[in-house]
Amino acid sequence: MSPERSALAESHRLVVKVGTQVVTHDGVELALGRLMGIVESLARLRLSGLDVVLVSSGAVGMGMRQLGLKERPRSLGLRQACAAVGQGHLMAMYARAFGDLGVTAAQVLLTQEDLGDRDRALCVRTTLMRLLELGTIPVINENDSVSVRELMEHQRRGGGDANANGGSDDKPVFGDNDGLSALVATALDADLLVLLTDVAGLYDQNPKTHLDAKRIVELDGVDDQSLAAASGVSAGGTGGMASKLEAARVATAEGATVIIASGNEPRVVERLLAGEDLGTIIWPKERRAARWRHIAVSGRSRGAIVINDGALRALAEHKASLLPIGVLRIEGVFEKGDLVEVRDASGRVHGRGLVNYDAAACRSLIGRHSDEIGEVLGYRSYDAILTRDNLVMGTV
């Protein structure tokens, strides 16, 4: 075991993505034995105290099975219908499987736009963090019934390679939940993102056409050369190796380590955490999550929240959230999700965080109890002005 791989055992929060070819046989029939093995591993890790998030493909394939379709539908509408039918069955399977092992599964349907919009991303992060605190395993899938980007990309290519550089707007086009898993890992400051697929990792050549292809053990980040070398697409999904590398580029840029490995390997996630030489590991250039670096030191604050001594002690000593009753005054003009400073009455900065309400709303809530928020504002998105998950104390 290399010293670098042994460091994976220190991972506390991991996001595991299983592709269509892992969840199913040939994109249709559920690969129950393989999937139950992954579920058992993730349940053990959750029960051992790790934060675990599962991003699962397979809704379209499950819907095809329920509807009696034998061939992958090429019609966008039919694929959306399959996703709508299949998602409930897929989640029911996960709920039963995890439940039998003493873990509660929670369904979360997202679009990549949910994590691209500042306000929505803040809501998603808060929800997922609460679910993790409650001991659940969030099971996330792209909401294919209403989000057509991935399905349209598959259709545009005629079922071919969902290249990460495709699309008319030159923005990355991810397939098969690859990009979604990277955005989730970033939003949650995950230590590790594991992309499970039907091959043993990244190779120097396509292993399906070159018998002498060699597995690449590790990469220091993802560059244009490694992206150009990637080829191939999962037979039953939309994600190819290029899509996975583009996702890895996103996640590693934010400080997460990424591993591309085979979902066919028994207990693969546990073995990876134990440092076993499996798959291709892609190291970030900087291990600390960029989100917290942004909050702590580099981001430009839009204003300040001045708090009383009791609130300051609660934040600093008890890692509490900042409630309206502890606020003395609001400085500056900011929007929900902006970076603001936390100051004491003398003006000293004690921390920085991402605010849950805009400046006008915060001013209206000064000194109020949390149960008065709805009455004052006419709505109640959060109980706190700053949630502890989005707050870094100790910066000056």
Q: Are 131 and 138 in contact (CB under 8 A)?
A: yes
Looking at the structure, do residues 107 and 218 belong to the same domain, yes or no? yes
Sheet of strand 13-18, all strands in order from the earlier edge strand to the far edge: 105-110, 137-142, 51-56, 13-18, 192-197, 257-262, 280-283, 218-220
Q: Which two tokens stand for residue 259?
A: 């591993």
Looking at the structure, do residues 268 and 180 belong to the same domain, yes or no? yes
Looking at the structure, do residues 282 and 214 belong to the same domain, yes or no? yes
Nearest of 312, 311, 296, 300 to residue 353 by alpha carbon:
296
Looking at the structure, do residues 92 and 163 belong to the same domain, yes or no? yes
Looking at the structure, do residues 318 and 277 belong to the same domain, yes or no? no
Q: What is the CATH number of the domain that holds 302?
A: 2.30.130.10
Q: Which pLDDT value is given to residue 151?
A: 47
Q: What is the CATH number of the domain that holds 245?
A: 3.40.1160.10
Q: Which domain holds residue 213?
A: 3-287
Looking at the structure, do residues 124 and 149 belong to the same domain, yes or no? yes
Q: Could you give the angle at which helices 76-100 and 32-47 cross, rounded to 10 degrees?
A: 50
Looking at the structure, do residues 270 and 342 belong to the same domain, yes or no? no
Q: Which pLDDT value is given to residue 237?
A: 42
Give the count of alpha carbons within 13 A of 128, CB side only.
31
Looking at the structure, do residues 283 and 298 belong to the same domain, yes or no? no
Q: Are 17 and 181 in contact (CB under 8 A)?
A: yes
Tokens 């309400």 correspond to: 357
Name the pTM for this structure.
0.74
- Could you read off the pLDDT tens digit of each residue along the chain, which spans 396 residues? 566 788 888 889 999 999 888 988 776 677 889 999 999 999 999 999 999 999 998 888 888 888 888 787 778 888 889 888 989 999 999 999 999 999 999 999 987 777 777 777 778 888 898 899 899 999 998 876 665 555 445 444 444 333 333 333 444 444 568 889 998 998 888 999 999 998 888 888 777 778 888 888 888 878 776 666 665 444 444 447 788 888 888 888 888 899 999 999 999 999 999 999 999 999 987 655 445 555 555 557 789 999 999 999 999 888 899 999 999 999 999 999 888 999 999 999 998 888 999 999 999 999 999 999 999 999 998 999 999 878 888 744
Looking at the structure, do residues 63 and 161 belong to the same domain, yes or no? yes
DSSP for residue 301: P
Looking at the structure, do residues 166 and 282 belong to the same domain, yes or no? yes
CA triple 128-185-13, angle to 5 deg: 75
Q: Which pLDDT value is given to residue 24?
A: 80
* Count of structural domains, the chain: 2
Looking at the structure, do residues 105 and 201 belong to the same domain, yes or no? yes
Rounded to whole angstroms, how far apart are CA atoms 230 and 318? 48
